Amino acid sequence: MARIDIRNVTKFYGKTQVVHGVDFTINDGEFVVILGPSGCGKSTLLRMIAGLEEISGGTICIAGDVVNDKEPRERGCAMVFQNYALYPHMSVAENIGYGLKVAGVPKAERLVRVQTVARTVGLDAFLDRKPGQLSGGQRQRVAMARAMIKEPKVFLFDEPLSNLDAKLRVQMRIEIRKLHQRLKATSVFVTHDQVEAMTLADRLVVMNKGVIEQIGAPKDVYDRPASVFVAAFIGAPGLNLLPATISSDGHSLTLADGQRLGVETARYPALKPGPVTLGLRAEALNIRPQGHVTGQGTLKATFDFAEELGVGQHIHAEVAGSPIVIHVDGRHPYTYNDVLSIEVSPRDLQLFETKTGLRIAEVNAPVPATSRDQPFVLDALA
């Protein structure tokens, strides 16, 4: 069982702490993506799992063994880096099998294993070529095959797709996901690209400034972000965030310009009067004709510009002095400074504490429109 247990792990560089008491478990055969902006500590955490960085505090267990003091080669991990690090003078076959050669594996066995792994990643027709004769995606597959041939307990991916162009990144995401489905190896993938994270992960670990903001399935993290940071970071675009004030009776909220929306008070037992941050997903909003009357709440917005997606558009507008994005299918008929009427369902309101940025606790929360109708709007970033 290649389960990874990370318990209260910390990392200091001198007096500067970059990882703050990280604590979670990666189950056997699970594909976990550690996601966050540059400098959040995600690659440092991965390198501590691999043994390439010392742990300042806490413990890391792989398959039940504490590996804090073990050398990288003793941990049963194989790592795929952003830089392919291939030997340019060696053929593809020699690059893939080099680790086995160093380990003293007989040549005949080595050749069989190289051919088997090469077929798995679609490189069997390229074994005689040098890395310089391959595309970026093919070179990344060689790096993956070189890791696979060691038959590791754990695969560690450190932003392996960052050097590829957009089309190749899409292709390699598919290849990596298929590979994981075939091998069922425990995999940890680090990225700052939320599209990669959402499409690859069984579970996401979202990091910010050396701490974990949220852990969960991609759909859950998208639908129910635990903090303002996660809300803004996850999604294309991120959650619309607007300052608001809860009324004294808790039944409504007021935006900066006096516009009001109803609040389902039974859903928020801990809700108190005062400032909050209102979150709205772009695809949960609907633009209605002026004068359109429904049972939903409505907001007045001022049109700014439209962002073309091919399958639809992102309408950029302003509400109560704050920017807002609305996802629409088809094409818009609006011109600059047009007034829009935006329909908002109470079930799609997401509320966060202003001081802490944390999500306000809910009970019996409805399934938001973003889950039931169109779970993710990510095609524009593919």
What SS3 class is residue 211? strand
pLDDT at 83 over 90: no
Q: Give bridge partners of residue 347 from the DSSP assignment.
A: none
The last residue of a domain, from among 162, 192, 222: 222
Residue 370 or residue 67, greater confidence: 67
Lowest mean pLDDT among 76-80, 238-242, 312-316, 364-368: 364-368
Do 286 and 337 lie in one domain? The reply is yes
Q: Are residues 195 and 51 in the same domain?
A: yes
Q: For the domain that residue 286 is a member of, what is the CATH number?
A: 2.40.50.140
Alpha helices in 65-135 (DSSP H): 92-102, 107-120
Tens of pLDDT, residues 320-362: 999 999 999 888 889 999 999 999 988 899 999 999 999 998 8
Tell me: pLDDT of 241 over 60: yes
Mean pLDDT of the chain: 88
Amino acid identity, residue 60?
Answer: I
Beta strand 154-158 with 77-80 is parallel
User: Side chain identity at 263, as an amino acid letter?
Assistant: V
Shared-domain flag, residues 317 and 358 = yes
Query: Do 183 and 233 share a domain, yes or no?
Result: no
Residue pair 233/62 in contact by the 8 Å Cβ criterion: no
**Tens-place pLDDT, residues 158-169:** 988 887 778 878
Give the domain-ending residue among 222, 239, 271: 222
Does one domain contain both 257 and 349?
yes
CATH number at residue 132: 3.40.50.300
Amino acid at residue number 150: K
Six-digit token pair at 249?
């009776």
pLDDT tens column, 182-237: 888 899 999 999 889 999 999 999 999 999 999 999 999 999 999 999 999 998 88
In this structure, the answer to whether residues 147 and 179 fall within a common structural domain is yes
Taking Cα atoms as reference points, which of 28, 123, 18, 118 lies closest to residue 76? 28
Q: Are residues 342 and 320 in the same domain?
A: yes
8 A C-beta contact, residue 186 and residue 155: yes
Tell which of 222, 255, 273 closes a domain: 222
- DSSP-derived 3-state class of residue 143: helix
For 167-193, the DSSP string reads HHHHHHHHHHHHHHHHH--EEEEEES-
Q: Are residues 178 and 276 in the same domain?
A: no
Highest average pLDDT, of 95-99, 187-191, 247-251, comes from 187-191
156 and 243, same domain (yes or no):
no
Q: What pLDDT score does 122 carry?
A: 82
Structure pTM?
A: 0.85
Say if residue 316's pLDDT is above 60: yes
Tell which residue, 283, 198, 202, 190, has the closest CA to residue 234: 198
Q: Given the structure tokens 């400034």, which residue do they identify?
A: 209
Residue 124 has pLDDT above 80, yes or no: yes
Query: Is the confidence at residue 65, as pLDDT, over 50?
Result: yes
Look-up of token digits 């700014």:
304
Do 49 and 169 fall within a single domain? yes
Q: What are phi and psi of 108, to 5 degrees?
A: -60, -45
Does residue 264 share a domain with residue 201?
Answer: no
In sequence order, what are the beta bridge partners of 246? 253, 274
Indicate the pLDDT class of residue 378, thresholds 50, 70 and 90. Answer: very low
Percent of the chain having pLDDT more than 90?
Answer: 60
The pLDDT score that the predictor gives to residue 331 is: 82
* Residues 253, 270 within the same domain: yes
Counting the structural domains of the chain, the total is 2
Of 32-36, 81-85, 150-154, which one has max mean pLDDT? 32-36
Q: How confident is the model at residue 372 (pLDDT cuts 50, 70, 90)?
A: very low
The distance in angstroms from the start CA to the end CA of the chain is 34
Q: Taking residues 70-91, report their average pLDDT.
A: 87
Q: Which domain holds residue 61?
A: 4-222
